Structure formats: C-alpha cells, structure tokens
Amino acid sequence: MKLAKYALLALTTLTMACRSGQSTTSSAPAASPTGKPYSVWMADSEIKRSPQGWMIDFRPEPKWDYTQGLFASALERVWKRTGDQKYFTYIKAFADTMITDDGKIKTYKKLDYNIDRVNPGKFLIGLHKATGQPKYKIALDELRDQMRTHPRTSEGGFWHKKIYPHQMWLDGLYMATPFLAQYAAEYNEPALFDEVVKQIVLMDKNTWDPKKGLFYHAWDEKRAQKWADPVTGLSPNVWGRAMGWMSMALVDALDFVPQNHPQRGEILRVTKKMAQAIAQYQDPKTGLWWQVVDQGGREGNYLEGSASSMFTYFLVKAAKKGYIDQKYLQNAQRGYNGLLENLIRKEADGTISITQVCAVAGLGGNPYRDGTYEYYINEQKRDNDPKAVAPFIMASLEFEEMGKASASK
C-alpha cells in the first residue's frame, strides 16, 4: 500500500529559523496514517522483524558490524526524541550481547583494520554516557585505538580496509569520521577534529569529478586495481549509496566539530558541493535517486531506497542547520514524499517496509567486483535493508522535529 495520499493529507506548513539566521517556509508530513510518527512506525516495524539487534542485516548469528551500529544509532535518536525506554533497552541488549564484562567486543579484530567496524562506536558513546558502565568505554576506546594505527595513503587518508590497500572509499568516510568527531567532543581530544577535516578534504580531493559534479565510489592511490582508471585511480561509476554515506558523514561530523575550529569551513565547503551534486541528479518525476546516480533511465537502473533515504536526510538536516542554501529544503521534501509514495509499503501485519534497496556493493574482492554499470545494477535488491531503514528513520526525525518546532510557535 503506497502512502503518498497520507503524506499529502498530512502536509503542514512550517516556519523555521535556521542557525544561519535565515527564515524559510517548508512543508513536511506531520504524521503517518496510524497517527504515530513515521520514525516510530519504521523503528517499531524493524524491531518486530529483528527482535535482537544483531539480527539486523539478516544475520544468522551475532556480529559486530556497521549495519547493526547504524540501526542502533537511529534507535538512539528515536529514544531521545520520544523518551520511550524500549528503544534504549533494545540497543543496550545488542551491546551487552556483543561486549563482555571486561570490555572486549566479540567478533571484532582490531588488526583486521576494517574501517566498517568502527561505526558502531557512536552508539557506545551514548550508552557509556547514559549508564556509566566502564565496559562500554573500554570497548569504544579500542575502536578509537584502531584509528591510531589504521593504514593510510601517502597523504594520510584512511585505507578502507587492510585487505583493500591504498584505497579510499566514500563509504569509509561515514564509518570513521562521525565517530572520531563525537569521541573528540565527548572525551576532550581536540586534535581529532583536525583528523576529521583531513579525511573529508582528502576524500573530496581524490574522488570528485568536476565534469560530472559528482563523487566516484572509490580511489586507488596506486592504480593497481583492475577497477581503477590508470590515470586518475578512480572507480568507473558513481554509486548512489557511496555518495549517501559521504553525505551523512558530513552533516553528522558537523554536529561535533566546534564552530570556531579554523578548518570547519572546509567541511562546509564540501557540504555545499554535495548538496549541489545531489540536487542536480534528483529524478524530476519521483524525487528519488538512481542506483547509478548519473545514468537515470538507462536500462536496468532503478530508483534505490538507501541512497534516496540518505540524500533526503542529508538535505533536510543540512538545510535546517544552515549549512546549505534553504532552497534545498524543497529537494529534501520531494525526496521524502518520493520515498513515501514509491518505496514505503504497508504490510498486512501493520508494519511498514522500505523497498528497492541494494543489498551490498563494493569493489575488488573475491568474486571480483569490477565497478561497471552492469555490476551495480545486477547486485541483489531486497526490502528492509538497514542501510535504508536507518536513514529513513533519521530523515523522518528531522522532518518531525520541524513540525514540532512550528507547532510550538
């Protein structure tokens, strides 16, 4: 069951003063047809599908991974917004399944130097702050410690993984930089803010294509990979979710990088580039974005759920906070309405699902992933992948916050 008609019925005119001092008028779905916020509806739906936090991403057994951390971070925000303890209980139960009493993280191996494993450190910061339990601090310090010795390019950019040497992937920017920025703010390590800026600047420098106005999925410093262009080192195509990860990294890192940091402007510069990149490739008919971003309408390409959710979250949050021009709120609104109209489905049991989500995509490895157009469009699609569920929740929270702010005036 498509939900566009409910979104249109629920449109509410909002007037919001942004941090930049500008005022703007926008509209956002205030509530779902159930009367509960979409953020809560989706969070509750996913908890019903995955009663244990480790089950997210269709896992057959517990594992410490970025997708579990992504959903836990989304639920942490729902908990803080609603005050409903069940969300805190859920993420704490996942942490307690994975972390021993002496702070060791099950299934995690620091010397694998897998940047994906660092992402869940964010919700551990929140758990430590809420409970004071030392084991959470020990565990998140271990993740912080990984980044002290994590292998780097010659310029100092983090490798994506030890098994992917000399490579920077857009995905990896989200996996480490928001965690490092939050850690720096919470535990008084200001030098980490410089590291966060450095990683963003290097990713911008090495993956940006000024002709397309887009960021490529990855860059190989050594030009050794079969997927890498022998001149630029870039992968062959622009993958939607990779840019989505980078976009979320920008706005989430900005939550913690101090206003007076001398290089904060560099993050804002890249954030403005990202907004323009996303907006120019938004599908005019649906408001969504394509799996291969710049080849909309080509045979086999499709409007993809995770990238569309990530871009929508980025645009609404960045515009609300005054990081980008307020005109982008219109793009965010079209993206959100597009999600509700085209990709959110109401199920017979009262839950909702998000559809048309690329299950996974990467480069290299075994079997070898060559980054061609055919590769990206033929990767498996599935419903309710957490890489779409969590950003949809976070985007919904941003719109719902706007609604509450307007109602209080």
pLDDT in tens, 91-137: 999 999 999 999 999 999 999 999 999 999 999 999 999 999 999 99
Looking at per-residue pLDDT, the higher value among 1 and 276 belongs to 276
Q: Is the Cβ–Cβ distance between 264 and 279 less than 8 Å?
A: no
Work out the percent of the chain whose per-residue pLDDT is above 90.
88
Q: How many CB atoms lie within 10 A of CB 192?
A: 22
| pLDDT given at position 17 | 37
313 vs 395: CA distance, rounded Å: 4
Q: How many CB atoms lie within 10 A of CB 223?
A: 14
Please give the average per-residue pLDDT across 15-34, as a whole number: 47
Close Cβ partners of 318 (under 8 Å, ≥ 6 residues apart): 250, 251, 271, 275, 324, 328
DSSP 343: I
DSSP 12: E
| pLDDT given at position 99 | 98
Please give the average per-residue pLDDT across 291-302, as a whole number: 98
| pLDDT given at position 352 | 98
Is residue 405 very low, low, confident or very high in pLDDT (cuts 50, 70, 90)? low
| pLDDT given at position 33 | 76
Quick one: tokens of 41?
Answer: 């509806």
Beta strand segments in 66-119, E: none
- Please report, as a single letter, which amino acid is at residue 258: P
| pLDDT above 60 (res 23) | no
290 vs 123: CA distance, rounded Å: 30
Q: Which domain holds residue 378?
A: 4-407
104 vs 404: CA distance, rounded Å: 41
Q: Is the Cβ–Cβ distance between 93 and 78 less than 8 Å?
A: no
The CATH number of the domain where 14 resides is what? Answer: 1.50.10.10
Handedness of CA 146, 270, 291, 211 (dihedral sign): negative
Is residue 31 very low, low, confident or very high in pLDDT (cuts 50, 70, 90)? low
Q: Is the peptide bond before 386 cis (omega within 30 degrees of 0)?
A: no
- The angle formed by the CA atoms of residues 167, 391 and 325, to the nearest 5 degrees, is 85
Q: Which residues are catalytic?
A: 171
b (16+ CB within 10 A) / e for 138-172: bbbbbbbebbeebebbeeebbbbbeebbbbbbbbb
Rounded to whole angstroms, what are the CA distances from 22 to 72, 234, 406? Answer: 33, 38, 15
Q: How many structural domains is the chain composed of?
A: 1
Instruction: Kindly write down the DSSP assignment for every residue of 161-205, as one continuous string.
Output: BTTBTTEEEHHHHHHHHHHHHHHHHHTT-THHHHHHHHHHHHHHH
Of 228, 218, 237, 234, which is closest to residue 372 (Cα–Cα)? Answer: 237
DSSP 339: I
| pLDDT above 80 (res 347) | yes
| pLDDT above 90 (res 160) | yes
Average confidence score pLDDT of the chain: 92
Work out the percent of the chain whose per-residue pLDDT is above 70.
91
Give the model confidence (pLDDT) of 143-156 as tens digits.
Answer: 999 999 999 999 99
169 vs 66: CA distance, rounded Å: 15
Q: Is the Cβ–Cβ distance between 246 and 311 less than 8 Å?
A: no
Is residue 16 very low, low, confident or very high in pLDDT (cuts 50, 70, 90)? very low
Please give the average per-residue pLDDT across 272-291, as a whole number: 98
Give the model confidence (pLDDT) of 204-227 as tens digits.
Answer: 999 999 999 999 999 999 999 999
247 vs 306: CA distance, rounded Å: 12
245 vs 391: CA distance, rounded Å: 10
For residue 336, the SS3 value is helix
Looking at per-residue pLDDT, the higher value among 7 and 88 belongs to 88
